[in-house]
A and B are shown apart, each in its own frame.
Chain A
Amino acid sequence: AQSVAQPEDQVNVAEGNPLTVKCTYSVSGNPYLFWYVQYPNRGLQFLLKYITGDNLVKGSYGFEAEFNKSQTSFHLKKPSALVSDSALYFCAVRDPDYGQNFVFGPGTRLSVLP
């Protein structure tokens, strides 16, 4: 069975500092990994994905994520946080053997303090 863990409910970081939002996963086959962000009263917006290839993937709004197969992790990072990055972040995995639906992590609330 597929599963996604986001070990931190809340991450606080000062504006201008680097940020990391952690994600670990469990799938039976090769994982397709995604990060989405949700702002208040909005749907989910796609940030980036890892399908295959380079372990460091770059996405929208200056975010990037590093895929680590041995640690089964896909942590989201940004070199310099902005107050406007404050939102709810979801890591998701898709196992093609189980269809197109996502299995989402519980979400991590990021607060960037001015």
Chain B
Amino acid sequence: KAGVTQTPRYLIKTRGQQVTLSCSPISGHRSVSWYQQTPGQGLQFLFEYFSETQRNKGNFPGRFSGRQFSNSRSEMNVSTLELGDSALYLCASGRSSTDTYNEQFFGPGTRLTVL
């Protein structure tokens, strides 16, 4: 069974631009969560999607948004990029939104650098 895939793996943008990251969960998984990892703040939860609906949201500004498609693939968008948005963005795949007993499976991440 294929794992979680994220594209692109690396991205370089300049301040003020916007960026879209993509995540394909494990086949059959319908929950997708996004996390931001930085050296200073560690791993922080961005949002979770299940069945095309945002189920939970972390404490990030509105510049960070996401969506999920009917095939469970998810995208996250960051508008008006700031230097502080440079981070590794991780996507995690889960069976369902209420399956709190089981682990999530993480993709390799997208490394975003904002210049």
Contacts and interface: CB of A to CB of B under 8 A. Distances in A.
Interface in A44-88: 44-46, 49, 51
Contacts of A43: 4, 90, 106-109
A101 B33 contact: yes
A27 interface: no
B107 A32 contact: no
| Contact count band on B | 20 to 34
B45 A96 contact: no
Interface stretch (B14-22, B64-72, B94-102): B94-102
A42 to B, nearest CB: 6
B90 A44 contact: yes
Contacts of B33: 100-101
B81 to A, nearest CB: 22
A46 B105 contact: yes
B56 A100 contact: yes
B90 A100 contact: no
B101 A100 contact: no
Interface residues of A, number: 24
Nearest to B94: A100
B45 to A, nearest CB: 4
A34 B45 CA distance: 15
A104 B58 CA distance: 13
Given A43-B108, A45-B106, A104 B56 contact: no
B100 A94 contact: yes
Contacts of B92: 44
A46 B48 CA distance: 19
A107 B92 CA distance: 18
Contacts of A103: 45
A96 B100 contact: yes
Contacts of A44: 90, 92, 106
Given A49-B102, A102-B35, 6 more contacts: A42-B108, A49-B103, A102-B104, A104-B44, A105-B42, A107-B42
Interface of A: 32, 34, 36, 41-46, 49, 51, 90, 94, 96, 98-107
